[in-house]
Amino acid sequence: QTDRFTYDPGFTSTASCDSGLTFIDGDKGMLLHRGYPIDQLAEKSSFMEVSYLLLDGELPNKAQLDEFEYTINRHTMVHEQLKTLYNGFRRDAHPMAIMCGVVGALSAFYHDSTDINDPEQRRIASHRLIAKMPTLAAMAYKYSIGQPFLYPDNNLSYAGNFLRMTFGVPAEDYVVDPVIERAMDRIFILHADHEQNASTSTVRLAGSSGANPFACIAAGIACLWGPAHGGANEAALNMLREIGTVDRIPEYIARAKDKNDPFRLMGFGHRVYKNYDPRAKVMAQTATEVLDKLGVSDPVFDVARKLEEIALNDPYFIEKKLYPNVDFYSGIILSAIGFPTTMFTALFALARTVGWVAQWNEMISDPAQKIGRPRQLYTGPTQRDYVPVDKR
Ligand code: SDX
């Protein structure tokens, strides 16, 4: 029995649910997955281990991990018919538009064989989603550049398989760079789960009606796409590129503070963290490692570092408790690895799928759970009688 947190948030909680997966202390900048600090998991664990931890509550032993990885590998391929669906999209379709479509379409293949009241069928559906997201995301990228899809190679790691399906071509062997593979795996860990964020709450609300998990995850993908949420990683890199040079940072800091300007510093601020997002710290370290390994000196990274330094010493950001979040540095790494900005949120969705399915399982397995039904404070007109159109 692990120690139970009795955390008093200091406000009358409007908690939407109980959950034992992830604990965040926004004031301390603390993030735990089943009690394990995110920085320890990012440094010492693997995405497959963290996936097992989120789904089953404990870190796996070697035999359990081997079986889990074998099981995930058995679901990495997608139905050949699903490939036809990609051809219905324009080549320049945003990968998140494709992911919304093709993940929802998985329902058409597995809806009839997914009785959500059967724990084993819930487990299989969860494994299918975790396993197929890299294949579907890589296919979205390949489709956008007019290259052929590559089938999964289950001799590779989860991250290595994804890198090969994304950047490999049939004409030659693809060699997975271990530093890039480790960085990719760590990025997946950092995005795996994050309590009741908007997209996870969307998955829970959709799932509370009894909808099949594939449709629920498609709903989560749609919510994640927004620039205030998972779309911020793409927006953050675009912002850093628009700033371009360190001397233009003050102009953007001033815009971010101007209440009449809708501009926000993308990758900054958070609904819960009023301290440094612990994931951003690991992401910044990873950016340094990847850029050093690739021998890339990206001026955008210099802009990001200077922007962070200026903002963290600015009275407005200090008073509003605005710090870099998980999305501030991730785009720099992903761009250095070779991903276009349009793929960044698809990668976030790929990694967050394990958190979504773990939270969905936690909810569905609770016999007391009911359909979600948020209420409102009504602000419209009081009751009144109908007026015929010739009297209006
Ligand atoms: C993610 O919920 C999760 O856990 C999400 C996530 C996950 O893992 O699932 O962590 C992933 O979505 C991270 C957030 C990514 N989004 C961005 O980086 C977009 C830029 N950030 C913002 O738009 C904003 O910070 C939000 C949407 C994230 C939070 O907005 P809030 O709820 O308004 O934040 P707040 O209440 O703490 O804001 C306090 C003040 C406000 O001003 P006042 O109303 O007090 O005058 O700070 C301002 C905000 O307007 N503010 C910003 C700002 N973020 C907040 N001002 C300038 N730049 C910003 N980035």
Question: What pLDDT, in 10s, does the model give residues 322-371?
Answer: 999 999 999 999 999 999 999 999 999 999 999 999 999 999 999 999 99
pLDDT category, 114, cuts 50, 70, 90? confident
For ligand 1, atom 40, the nearest C-alpha belongs to 320
- pLDDT, the chain, mean: 94
Work out the average pLDDT over 170-193.
97
Does residue 155 surpass a pLDDT of 90? yes
Ligand 1 within 6 A of CB of 271: yes
Ligand 1 within 6 A of CB of 181: no
Respond yes or no: is residue 261 known to be catalytic.
Answer: no
> In whole angstroms, what is the distance from residue 108 CA to residue 202 CA?
21
pLDDT for the residue numbered 363: 97
pTM of this prediction exceeds 0.90? yes
- Point out the catalytic residue in the list 75, 94, 194, 270: 270
Phi, psi of 345 (to 5 degrees): -75, -25
Q: How far is the CA of 306 from the centre of ligand 1 (A)?
A: 20
Does residue 9 surpass a pLDDT of 80? no
Ligand 1 within 6 A of CB of 283: no
Ligand 1 within 6 A of CB of 359: no
Work out the average pLDDT over 216-240.
96
Q: How far is the CA of 274 from the centre of ligand 1 (A)?
A: 10
Does residue 291 surpass a pLDDT of 60? yes
Respond yes or no: is residue 277 known to be catalytic.
Answer: no
- Ramachandran region, residue 117 (left: φ > 0; alpha: ψ -120 to 50; beta: rest): alpha
**Identity of the residue numbered 218:** A
Does residue 44 surpass a pLDDT of 50? yes
pLDDT for the residue numbered 111: 83
Ligand 1 within 6 A of CB of 325: yes
Residue 227 CA: distances (Å) to CA of 137, 323, 368: 19, 17, 35
